[in-house]
Structure 1
Amino acid sequence: MSRLLHPVSRRDLLGGAAAAGALIMLHPFSARAQANQAHLRIMETTDIHVNVLPYDYYADKANDTMGLSRTASLIDAVRKEAVNSMLIDNGDLLQGNPMGDYIAYERGMKDGDRHPIMKAMNLLGYECSTLGNHEFNYGLSFMDKVLAGASFPFVCANLIRGTELAANPRDDKLYLKPYVILDKKIKDGSGAEQPIRIGIIGFVPPQIMVWDLKNLEGNVKTRDIVEAAKAWVPQMKEEGADIVIALSHSGIDVKQGDMMENASFFVAGVDGIDAVFTGHQHLVFPGKKDFQSLDGVDTQKGTLQGKPAVMGGFWGSHMGLIDLMLERDGSKWKVVSATSEARPIFERVDNKAKPIVPDDKRIIAALEQDHQATLAYVRRPVGKTSAPLYSYFALVADDPSVQVVSQAQTWYLKDILKNTQWKDVPLLSAAAPFKAGGRSGADYYTDVPAGDIAIKNVADLYLYPNTVRAVEITGAQVKEWLEMSAGIFNRIEPGKADQALINTDFPSYNFDVIDGVTYKIDLSQPPKYDAKGGLANASANRIVDLMFAGKPIDSKQKFVVATNNYRAGGGGNFPDINASKVIYEAPDTNRDVIVRYIVSEGTINPSADGNWSFAPLPETSVVFETGAGAKDFIAEVKSLKIEPAGEGEAGFAKYRILL
């Protein structure tokens, strides 16, 4: 499988080894530990999303920014820097690339089968993992079969089997063990082996009950992360855990609330927890870029409320490291000092990714058959497109990669609803761009030439295994839906040049375009809603000239909107959009619907119809960043006065829009 990987020269290997410091020096804690002290290094991977190999199946080419096989080389190097080490994972393993889809949809999981991710993790010697929200995307039965192939335990303290929460969290009937206590031997500063009991507890975002309602409703329930932590950690201490490690598949947010999605900051505040491993947000902590200026968050030292914490990127991009200096206090160990680090697998040189570690050949060999089967799966043609599909301008203009999703959803639901009470209710369709650069990098765009469309192209258009939903709402609620979507744009001051257009804290998958209506977005207005769906400016009206069938929309008229289970269930916190509005739950995934639409049509025409645009602002310009391939499609964007504006950072290209 050598053609899969970019060759790494001896110079690269030496540079990578030197950068990692793996072959030449111990961590200071190991070097200076005394007889009553010991250094414990804990390594984290998180949000692997089946990216075991450095290969982008959507683009069908090697990619040096991803791959557990690369992170595995860091693991070996990091182990050599410490006298005592252990390896854990923080969830989101089973879904996220076509290999995951191939296993779930094509090959299947029989009892006794070994999932590719488990083949790799078992080879590397993981000692524990927790569940991420994407573990549930293919259903509980599939997840159970995959977890059965792990040679290490999975823990989760806030996932309850059944539908009833106990009055006391300790009485919950949990789906998995809430924690494990590992009895280990560690070498102290004198070289003598000493016993230690290490407790590991895990948590999943409670929002899985919204995001995967179809798979989970009636089967499981979730509890607040911090509530579960406060209940179970004292029991871990009672059972003799010397130190307690939290595997929190949950990001970092300092604004407290009930049932928080990103609760790791408050997990760190729970008495008895010594270190917090975070994830879910696909960011890096500690570091110079993310989580700056948050009270109680030290991005340099890597602490949350004074506790060591780490978030190791995503897709294997980083190894998260927490180093603990432990000291004997009688018969117990306690943490007396700690450091935190997120170590990358690549660096950027001249805006190009360059690997700083080679692949672990054991993993490459173990997954050769799965890799080849996935390639055959994703290269299978399903139809043709008469026009290119690209997402370089999906955040600034009506876009073909979003258009084809709406076309497929409308085609599907029109047939389903034709003999129902909604047959005469106008049908709209909402879709968002999934691959639009941002945190995922300058190569993270859809770019499919005219001609054959394969499964890999459909998966590239629609990354998630969502299922189709239909909601019934009013014209007024259509407007509020669009007001929420328009929160992705910064407020623009008329008459000023080159203002930043995109609010980078607003995820592109929440930028819904609604087809079937026409509208403009007035950027001089402030956003009505913030990125989390909170009402920010009640009197703001960014959505103007909202029309249906060529006339101003009737605020009381009923509409059916095609969307997905995430949005229809309340995902993204769009105003008034929740499960109570759902009129139809499809058994089919949005992705399968797109495939069936293409097969039915034979050849599709995904050209954008330009149903939305920015309201004019004379003598005003904005700038945004997109991928380098955008230059080939500028002429296609008819609704904008757009021009190149130089290079952006990290491989992005900058463009100017004259409003």
Structure 2
Amino acid sequence: MGLRNSTLISRREFVAGAAFGTTLLAMHPFSARAAANQAHLRIMETTDLHVHVFPYDYYSDKPIDTVGLARTASHIVDVRAEATNSILLDNGDFLQGNPMGDYIAYERGMKDGDMHPVIAAMNAVGFDASTLGNHEFNYGLDFLMKSIAGANFPVVSANVVVERGANPRDDKTLLMPYVILERMIKDGTGTEHPIKIGLIGFVPPQVMNWDRRHLEGNVTTRDIVETARAYVPEMKEAGADIIIALSHSGIGSANETEFMENASVPLATVDGIDAIMTGHSHLVFPGTQYADFAGVDAEKGTIHGKPAAMGGFWGSHLGVIDLMLENDGGTWKVSAHTSEARPISQRNEDRSISALVESQDFVLAAAQKEHDETLAYVRRAVGKTSAPLHSYFALVADDPSVQIVSIAQKWYIGEMLAGTEYADLPILSAAAPFKAGGRGGAEYYTDVPAGDVAIKNVADLYLYPNTARAVKVTGEQLKGWLERSAGMFNQVEAGKADQVLLNPDFPSYNFDVIDGVSYEIDLSQPSRFTAKGELADETANRIVNLTYNGAPVTPDQEFIVATNNYRASGGGDFPGAMGDTIIFEGPDTNRDVIVRYIVEQGTINPSADGNWAFTSLPDTSVLFDTGPKAKDYMGDLENITIEEAGDGPDGFARFRIQL
């Protein structure tokens, strides 16, 4: 296979911490008790950084304490000081995800030799390796390759394939599938020994759907576990003492199926893998979210008995795995392990957030110029809005922040299809609230006051650099699309008070509101689909009174739906949007469409038209948690009876809705 698949890289020695005597008290127990031929290795992980170098929210244009590699770097400094040997890894999704990423991609661009600010920051912190996440492909392969060219560390990815062979070991991969780092490691007596650390990386194979426009015809993907089973023995043959999987894939089902998106649990069964760094899900491991998962010990931080960590997202946590290694006949083996995830902030009892660490100035300095340029970029006004744009009630009522996205998409697709064979078909528009609390927290909402609308506000309305698409669907598919969206809600019992409304496993970005038709959601009925889009009950009918222009929608009626490339290509598994109904692929991002619409209109009127509502259920109420500032907008709601109901968990405010 040659050097591409067994590259040996020798870089700086492990950082041993500060001077002896000042760090001894802080030493991890593994370092303190290691004997001869025993060595303590700390593996640190960041994941899903999404260009968050600074502790700054570009959407609200203010500093925050919950994000930023500059803050995570303080933990990294501490962890290095607490152990004799350490290694720092990134688990992907570093190039896209906030306005700095968009500024570099769309305004400044990347030429040969340019340094991407997040790469500059990662170089400053001293990463040892990284893998690719799915969002690395959002700006295209050329942008990706020019960006990672500046990295002072290897970037590996085993299952993104340029030329497919008979099996993964015969593939020509986009990047090195794995790397073996040759290092010197100190044992408990201070004696140095050579060690070979193997690192292999994986990305969800679904990137071929999510970024089809960039990848189709250029690369393909392989199944994560299949790829691991092929390469891990080869890594052992190449002399790897220990093997760490950089799995940009969440912790999901223990039942292995082909092309799993969240494959980290089956991946842990692959013989030869010693530790797993996970990500993609924007969650924390070890953590209570995974308490009931098969094969997972959420308290000890193991998957099938192997140590694992997931370091949150946006720099919110540092994942740490501690390995006690023993030299057994010239080969290092894992004899004990622990896992943790260190947060950079905490929520207090009064709902305020406190920083647990401060920023490292050398990290800020690495991206200061681009940070300042990004601030100028996001503050540009492009128009005005006559009413506030907020998403506090986007999951329970027709909403202005979703409405303006739908209006702009419909306007754009109407222009693009004028004069085509589809020009006479009715155009609908599907949009979802991206910032609606959930895992993002009680402050994770769009909130744009009436007045000037800047680029930062548009980025706040539409978080992702998706491109505009249009699909042609039947009335039957349209109803199925809405049934899929209605999985956002738990089934409620008529005549019962204070039932929990939202399904916590259902992300808000899959709650598509389709503008241009009218409909009701009957919460007394079961959901047709699971939170992940699997068919649960084909006879379930939550969507009732579905009409177009006042007349019932028929199963064979045809519509155009304006949406985005992610949804149109199968993202979320929506009926009518599985990649086979696309009739138009726009060159413009949905954000650019919104900006162009606002510029053309000058002043927009984002008032929601109330095209959907819950079906009336007498003597029935539900509880809904949203941001505390929602109470400022209660008076704007129509066709819904809502009242404050105290405090919700984790800083959320609770409201009661009478159905």
Contact 1:408 1:594 (C-alpha < 8 Å) held by counterparts:
yes
Distance (Å, rounded) in 1 between the aligned partners of 2:216 and 2:228: 24
1:156 partner amino acid:
S
Following superposition of structure 1 onto structure 2, how do residues 482-521 of structure 1 map, counting pairs within 5 Å? 482-521=482-521
Residue 154 in 1 paired to residue 192 in 2?
Answer: no
Distance 1:378 1:22, change over 3 A: farther
- Aligned partner of 2:336 in structure 1 is 337
Q: Give yes or no for contact 1:351–1:649 (8 Å, CA) kept in 2.
A: no
Preserved CA contact (<8 Å) 2:478 2:576:
no
Q: Aligned partners of 1:379 and 1:102: how far apart in 2?
A: 12
Secondary structure of the corresponding residue to residue 442 of structure 2: coil
Asked if structure 2 preserves the Cα contact closer than 8 Å seen for 1:49 and 1:97, the reply is yes
TM-score normalized by the length of structure 2: 0.96
Tell me if structure 1 keeps the 8 A contact 2:627–2:653: yes
Answer yes or no: is the 8 Å Cα contact 1:224–1:260 preserved in 2: yes
Correspondence 1:44-443 to 2 at 5 A: 44-162=45-163, 165-254=164-253, 255-288=255-288, 290-349=289-348, 350-443=350-443
With normalisation by structure 1, the TM-score equals 0.96
Distance in 1 (CA, whole Å) between partners of 2:213 and 2:194 is: 45
Q: Secondary structure at the match of 1:613?
A: strand
| Cross-structure match for 2:8 | none
1: CA distance, partners of 2:256 / 2:530: 17
SS at match of 1:371: helix
Give the residue type in structure 2 aligned to 1:406. S
Secondary structure at 1:367's aligned position in 2? helix
1:4 aligned partner: none
Pair 1:555–1:38, CA change in 2 (3 A): same
Question: In the alignment, which residue of structure 1 is the partner of 2:30?
Answer: 29
| Alignment-derived partner of residue 13 in structure 1 | none
Distance 1:417 1:22, change over 3 A: farther
Q: Give 5+ residue unaligned stretches, structure 1.
A: 1-20
The 3-state SS of whatever aligns with 1:657 is strand
Specify the SS of the correspondent of 2:333. Answer: strand
Q: Structure 1 CA distance, aligned partners of 2:366 and 2:569?
A: 39
Q: 1 CA distance for matches of 2:357 and 2:560?
A: 51
Per the TM alignment, residue 364 of structure 1 is displaced from its structure 2 partner at its CA by: 1.7
Q: CA-to-partner distance for each residue in 1:319-339, whole Å, 9 max, x for gaps? A: 000000000110101001110
User: How big is the shift at 1:24?
Assistant: 3.8
Q: Could you tell me how far apart the structure 2 residues matched to 1:511 and 1:650 are?
A: 22
* Residue 475 to residue 386, structure 1, CA distance change in 2 (3 Å): same
Note the aligned Cα RMSD (angstroms).
1.1
Residue 582 (structure 2) aligns with: 582
Structure 1 contact 352–650 (Cα < 8 Å) conserved: no
Larger mean Cα displacement after TM superposition, 254-263 or 474-483: 254-263
- Relative to structure 1, the CA distance from residue 476 to residue 376 in structure 2 (aligned partners, 3 Å threshold; closer, same or farther) is same
SS of equivalent residue, structure 2 residue 146: helix
Q: Give CA-to-partner distance per residue, 1:616-650, whole Å, 9 cap, x none.
A: 01001000110011011101111210000001122
1:155-212 residue CA offsets vs partner (Å, 9 max, x unmatched): 01100015xx222110001000010001100000111001100000000110000000
Q: Which residue identity does 1:526 align to in structure 2?
A: P
Residue identity opposite 1:50 in structure 2: V
Q: Distance in 2 between matches of 1:222 and 1:22?
A: 45
CA distance in 1, matches of 2:415, 2:356: 53
Distance in 2 of aligned mates of 1:239 and 1:99? 40
2:310 counterpart letter in structure 1: M
Q: Distance in 2 between matches of 1:83 and 1:526?
A: 56
Using the TM superposition, give the Cα deviation of residue 22 of structure 1 relative to its aligned residue in structure 2, in angstroms. Answer: 7.7
CA offset digits 1:578-628 (Å, max 9, x no partner)? 221000000111000000000011111111000000000100100011001
1:256, CA displacement in angstroms?
Answer: 2.5
- When residues 373 and 22 of structure 1 are mapped into structure 2, their CA distance, relative to the original with a 3 A threshold, is farther
Contact preservation (8 Å) 2:124, 2:366? no
Q: Provide the residue aligned with 2:10 in structure 1.
A: none
C-alpha deviation, 1:352, in angstroms: 1.4
Does the 8 Å contact 2:140/2:214 carry over to 1? yes
Structure 2: 5+ residue stretches without partners: 1-21
Q: Distance in 1 between matches of 2:293 and 2:415?
A: 50
For residues 484 and 436 of structure 1, the distance between their equivalents in structure 2, rounded to whole angstroms, comes to 18
Letter of the structure 1 residue corresponding to residue 107 of structure 2:
E
Q: Deviations over 1:293-342 (max 9, x none)?
A: 11210000000011100000000000000000000110101001110000
CA distance, structure 1, for counterparts of residue 522 and residue 165 of structure 2: 50
Residues 390-424 of structure 1, C-alpha deviations (whole Å, 9 max, x = no match): 00000010000000000001111111112001111
Distance 1:416 1:443, change over 3 A: same
Distance 2:464 2:471 in 1: 20
Residue number in structure 2 paired with 1:525 = 525
Q: Cα deviation per residue 1:459-518 (whole Å; 9 max; x = unaligned)? A: 000000001111001011110000000001000011111100000100100000000100
How far does residue 365 in structure 1 lie from its aligned partner after superposition?
A: 2.1
Query: Alpha-carbon deviation of 1:25?
Result: 1.6
Contact kept? 1:521, 1:615, Cα under 8 Å: yes
C-alpha spacing 1:351/1:212, structure 2 compared with 1 (3 Å): same
Once the two structures are TM-superposed, the CA of residue 366 in structure 1 deviates from its matched residue by: 2.4
String of CA shifts for 1:428-483, please: whole Å, max 9, x gaps: 00000000000011110000001100000000000000011110010111100000
SS in 2 for 1:404: helix
1:635 aligned onto 2:635: yes
What's 2:14 paired with?
none
2:561 aligned with 1:561, yes or no?
yes
C-alpha contact 1:22 1:77 (8 A) present in aligned 2: no
**Contact 1:72–1:124, Cα closer than 8 Å, also in 2:** yes
Q: How many residues are treated as equivalent by the alignment?
A: 637
Give the match for residue 15 of structure 2: none
Cα 1:106/1:332, change in 2 over 3 Å: same
Deviations 1:109-148 (A, max 9, x none): 1111111101111011101000000000000000011000
Q: Does 1:570 align with 2:570?
A: yes
User: Which amino acid counterpart does residue 347 of structure 2 have in structure 1?
Assistant: R
Contact 2:291–2:299 (CA under 8 A) maintained in structure 1: no
Residue aligned with 1:176, SS? coil
**Partner SS state of residue 540, structure 1:** coil
